[in-house]
Amino acid sequence: MARSLSGFLAQIVAVALICCSFAAAASIFQPISDSHRSAAVEIFDRSFGSLEETYEALRTFDVLGVERKPDVGTTACQSVSQTLASSSSNLKDVFYALKVNGVLKCELDAEIVEGIVSTLQTAVGSASSLLEFYHSIGGLVLVKDQALKGDLFLADAEGAFRSIKALSQSDGRWQYSSSNPESSTHAAGLALEALAGVISLSSSEIDQSLIGTTKNDILKLFEQAEKYDDGTVYFDEEIDAHESQGPLTSTWSVVRGITSFAAVTSGNLNLPGEKVLGLAKFFLGVGIPGGAKDFFNQVDSLACLENNRIAIPLILSLPATVNSLTRKDALKVKVSTVLGADAPPLMVKLVRAKDTPAIESQELKFDSESKVHVLDTLKKSVDVGKYIFVFEIVFHDPEHKKVYAVESKAEVPIFLTGAVKVGNAEIAVLDSDLGSTETQKNLDFAGENLVSLSANHLQKLRLRFQLTTPLGHPFKPHQAILKLTHGSKVDHIFVVGSTGKQFEIILDFLGLVEKFYYLSGKYEIQLTVGDAVMENSFFKVIGHLDLDLPEAPEKAPRPPVQPVDAYSRFGPKAELAHIFRAPEKRPPQELSLTFLGLTVLPLLGFIIGLLRLGVNLKNFPSAAAPALFAALFHLGIGAVLLLYVLFWLKLDLFTTLKILGFLGVFLLFVGHRTLSHLASTTSKVKSA
d(CA 275, CA 260): 16
Consecutive H or E run containing 306: helix 292-306
Helices (H), 203-287: 208-223, 247-264, 273-285
In degrees, rounded to 5, the angle at the alpha carbon of residue 196 between the alpha carbons of residues 121 and 53 is 75
Q: What pLDDT band is residue 8 in, cutting at 50, 70 and 90?
A: very low
Q: Report whether pLDDT(600) > 60.
A: yes
d(CA 120, CA 94): 9
Q: What pLDDT band is residue 244 in, cutting at 50, 70 and 90?
A: low
Measuring CA to CA, which residue among 320, 504, 526, 306 is closest to residue 405?
Answer: 306
d(CA 303, CA 338): 8
d(CA 412, CA 29): 10
**Environment class of 682 (CB within 10 Å of its CB; exposed 0-12, middle 13-18, buried 19+):** exposed
pLDDT digits (tens, 9 = 90+) for 113-134: 999 999 999 999 999 999 999 9
In degrees, rounded to 5, the angle at the alpha carbon of residue 243 between the alpha carbons of residues 241 and 248 is 110
Of the chain, the percentage scoring pLDDT greater than 70 comes to: 94
d(CA 520, CA 561): 17
Of the chain, the percentage scoring pLDDT greater than 90 comes to: 64
Q: What pLDDT band is residue 416 in, cutting at 50, 70 and 90?
A: very high
d(CA 675, CA 679): 6
Say how many residues make up the chain.
688
Measuring CA to CA, which residue among 354, 204, 211 is closest to residue 270?
Answer: 211
Residue 342, CA distances (Å) to 31, 249, 316, 318, 557 in order: 11, 28, 11, 15, 68
pLDDT at 57: 93
> What secondary structure letter does DSSP report for 426?
E
End-to-end CA distance of the chain: 103
d(CA 73, CA 78): 9
SS3 366: strand
Determine contact, residues 397/345, Cβ cutoff 8 Å: yes
Phi/psi at 356 (5° precision): -155, 135
Phi/psi at 536 (5° precision): -105, 40
Spell out the residues 6+ positions from residue 36 whose beta carbon is closer than 8 angstroms to its own: 64, 288, 299
**Environment class of 270 (CB within 10 Å of its CB; exposed 0-12, middle 13-18, buried 19+):** exposed
Q: What's the rounded mean pLDDT across residues 155-173?
A: 94
Measuring CA to CA, which residue among 264, 601, 214, 272 is closest to residue 406?
Answer: 272
pLDDT at 129: 95
pLDDT digits (tens, 9 = 90+) for 218-233: 999 999 999 998 899 9
Spell out the residues 6+ positions from residue 488 whose beta carbon is closer than 8 angstroms to its own: 519, 521, 559, 562
Strands 346-353 and 385-395: antiparallel
User: Average model confidence (pLDDT) for the chain?
Assistant: 88
Spell out the residues 6+ positions from residue 619 whose beta carbon is closer than 8 angstroms to its own: 678, 681
Q: What pLDDT band is residue 438 in, cutting at 50, 70 and 90?
A: confident
pLDDT at 381: 79
Q: What's the rounded mean pLDDT across residues 661-687?
A: 87
In degrees, rounded to 5, the angle at the alpha carbon of residue 259 between the alpha carbons of residues 292 and 149 is 85
Q: What pLDDT band is residue 165 in, cutting at 50, 70 and 90?
A: very high
Is the Cα dihedral 552, 556, 557, 561 positive or negative?
A: positive
d(CA 449, CA 226): 59
pLDDT at 424: 92
Q: Which amino acid is at 274?
A: E
pLDDT at 23: 42
Measuring CA to CA, which residue among 314, 202, 287, 296 is closest to residue 255?
Answer: 296
Q: What's the rounded mean pLDDT across residues 266-294?
A: 93
> What secondary structure letter does DSSP report for 559?
P
Q: Report whether pLDDT(214) > 90.
A: yes
Q: Report whether pLDDT(348) > 60.
A: yes
Lowest-confidence pick of 79-93, 254-268, 357-371:
357-371
Q: Report whether pLDDT(356) > 50.
A: yes
> What secondary structure letter does DSSP report for 474?
B
Q: What's the rounded mean pLDDT across residues 234-247?
A: 68
Residue 489's region, left for phi above 0, alpha for psi from -120 to 50, else beta, is left
Measuring CA to CA, which residue among 278, 239, 242 is closest to residue 258?
Answer: 278
Q: Which amino acid is at 491?
A: D
In degrees, rounded to 5, the angle at the alpha carbon of residue 150 between the alpha carbons of residues 148 and 153 is 110
**Count of CB atoms within 10 A of residue 159's CB?**
13
Lowest-confidence pick of 265-274, 315-324, 662-671, 676-685:
676-685
Cross-strand bridge partners of residue 483:
493, 526
pLDDT at 582: 80
pLDDT digits (tens, 9 = 90+) for 21-71: 434 444 688 999 999 999 999 998 766 788 999 999 999 999 999 987 767
pLDDT at 130: 95
Q: Report whether pLDDT(646) > 60.
A: yes
Determine contact, residues 191/258, Cβ cutoff 8 Å: no
d(CA 327, CA 333): 18
Phi/psi at 406 (5° precision): -135, 160
Determine contact, residues 480/528, Cβ cutoff 8 Å: yes
Q: Which amino acid is at 311?
A: A
Consecutive H or E run containing 439: strand 437-442
Q: Report whether pLDDT(307) > 80.
A: yes
Determine contact, residues 187/241, Cβ cutoff 8 Å: yes
pLDDT digits (tens, 9 = 90+) for 375-411: 987 777 789 999 999 999 999 999 999 999 999 899 9
- What dihedral angle (degrees, nearest 10) is formed by the CA atoms of 549, 550, 554, 555? -50
pLDDT at 240: 43
Q: Report whether pLDDT(509) > 90.
A: yes
